[in-house]
Amino acid sequence: MKLSIIIPVYNAENFVGQCLESILNQNIDPSEFEIIAVDDGSIDGSVSVLQTYEKNNDNILVVLQKNQGVGAARNKGMELAKGKYLYFLDSDDYLASNVLLPILEYAQTNNLQIVTFQSITTKKRNLYTSSLAGKHTTKVQSGPNYIGAIGYRNEVWWYIVERNFVKELGLKFILGRWMEDAIFTTQLFLAAQRMSKLQIDAHRYVTVKNSVMTNKKPEHYIKVICDLSHAAEVFNDFIYRVKETETGHKHDLCKKRLEERQQSLVFFMMIRMLKSRISFKEVKTIINHLNIIGAYPLTNFGRVENRELSYGVLKHLFNIKCLYYKIFICCNPILKHIYK
Q: What's the confidence (pLDDT) of residue 247?
A: 74
> Which has the minimum average pLDDT: 61-65, 83-87, 105-109, 307-311?
307-311
- What range does the domain containing 111 cover? 3-206
Angle subtended by helix axes 180-191 and 249-274, to nearest 10: 180
Residue 212 resides in a domain = no
**Do residues 125 and 96 make contact, with C-beta atoms less than 8 angstroms apart?**
no
> Phi-psi bin for 38: left (phi > 0), alpha (psi -120 to 50), beta?
beta
Residue 213 resides in a domain = no
- Residue scoring higher pLDDT (307 or 118): 118
> What's the first-to-final CA gap in the chain, in angstroms?
48
Q: What is the mean pLDDT of the chain?
A: 94
> Which has the minimum average pLDDT: 74-83, 131-140, 233-242?
131-140
Structurally, how many domains does the chain consist of? 2
Report the predicted TM-score, pTM, of the whole model to 2 decimal places: 0.94
Q: What's the confidence (pLDDT) of residue 246?
A: 67
For 147-169, write each residue's pLDDT tens digit.
999 999 999 999 999 999 999 99
Residue 143 resides in a domain = yes
190 shares its domain with 265: no
What is the spatial distance between Cα 197 and Cα 141, in angstroms, rounded to a whole number? 10
199 shares its domain with 226: no
112 shares its domain with 199: yes
172 shares its domain with 131: yes
Q: What's the confidence (pLDDT) of residue 23?
A: 99
Q: What's the confidence (pLDDT) of residue 266?
A: 98
- Residue scoring higher pLDDT (306 or 193): 193
Q: Is the pLDDT of residue 213 over 60?
A: no
**Do residues 205 and 93 make contact, with C-beta atoms less than 8 angstroms apart?**
yes
99 shares its domain with 232: no
Q: Is the pLDDT of residue 245 over 90?
A: no
159 shares its domain with 46: yes
Q: Is the pLDDT of residue 192 over 70?
A: yes
Percentage of the residues of the chain whose pLDDT score is greater than 70? 96
Q: Is the pLDDT of residue 84 over 60?
A: yes
Residue 244 resides in a domain = yes
Q: What's the confidence (pLDDT) of residue 156?
A: 99
225 shares its domain with 193: no
Q: Among 243, 226, 106, 238, which Cα is nearest to 182's?
A: 238
What is the spatial distance between Cα 226 and Cα 232, in angstroms, rounded to a whole number? 10
**Do residues 286 and 265 make contact, with C-beta atoms less than 8 angstroms apart?**
no
For 303-326, write each residue's pLDDT tens digit.
777 678 889 999 999 999 999 999
For 26-55, write each residue's pLDDT tens digit.
999 999 999 999 999 999 999 999 999 999
